[in-house]
Structure 1
């Protein structure tokens, strides 16, 4: 009987809301390396960790990200937010960045191909950034992404790309 309490807790923790099921492959911690650049900044490389967690009873995935300099481990950027997939294959994402910038993203996901495409509906509290797109792809057990950005001085161009493995 003592084992029953632990079993019930494990079952509850493993439960995934039906709306989250198509993206449940994201759940967990991902770690890897990326590189960035833009016409107005020097190119750089970074380490990164993404966490996707799910409370079980809500149709939402909590998202957090942090990056660091590869050579020193010094923290660089961080952001967090929520991903809300809908049964029709659309998704809404809200992200707050450590820089003060906020994003409202809308897009689509393909559960079979494991591709998520996001386009900014709103970029708030940003003096220069006008739009941001993000594309996440899972292939060969690697989660990769590409971020493109447009500013008041540049059209949309590649900004970041990374490849991560699940821990």
Structure 2
């Protein structure tokens, strides 16, 4: 009878990142987008959250593809800086040239993160962006809301992702 292999070693996580360790790894799934100024669309997405145990920061990246053709659509990357008091700062650079500085809160028990833009830079039309992430039945669900110089804050993107 073969011996049971030992469990994989636990990866060290910085104490500030520990409450959000559930995010670490690669997530894939599908989403949908809409806004008054564009036609509705569906997309595939891959999110990656990675971490170096010596730094109190999570590296973040997102790539999306058209669901129908697989053609690349959007990408963005940045850093999430959780604080031990339940607050978080996020910096994101989008492939469109738009940059976001967001501030918000996380709830480790509910496994949720809520972000609101503190600054939206290099954007002639986008004025405000909110992002909400939540674990629901083992899946990562998010909603992105956006306001422009012509529209009030409303849902732009929503997706459901599974850890791979």
Please state which band the TM-score falls in when normalised by the shorter chain.
Answer: over 0.9
SS of residue in 1 equivalent to 2:13: coil
Alignment of 1:1-167 (within 5 A): 14-167=11-164
CA–CA separation in structure 2 for the residues paired with 1:104 and 1:76: 22
Aligned residues: 157
- Segments of 4+ in structure 1 off by > 4 A? none
Report which of the two has the higher share of helix. Answer: 1
Q: How far off is 1:56 after superposition? A: 1.1
Deviations 1:29-79 (CA, angstroms, capped at 9, x unpaired): 000000000000000000000000001100000000000001111000000
CA–CA separation in structure 1 for the residues paired with 2:39 and 2:114: 26
RMSD: 1.0
SS of residue in 2 equivalent to 1:14: coil
Gaps of 5+ in 2: 1-7
SS of residue in 2 equivalent to 1:30: strand
SS of residue in 2 equivalent to 1:71: coil
**TM-score scaled by structure 2?**
0.94
Gaps of 5+ in 1: 1-9
Q: How far off is 1:140 after superposition? A: 0.7
**TM-score scaled by structure 1?**
0.92
* 1:6 equivalent in structure 2: none
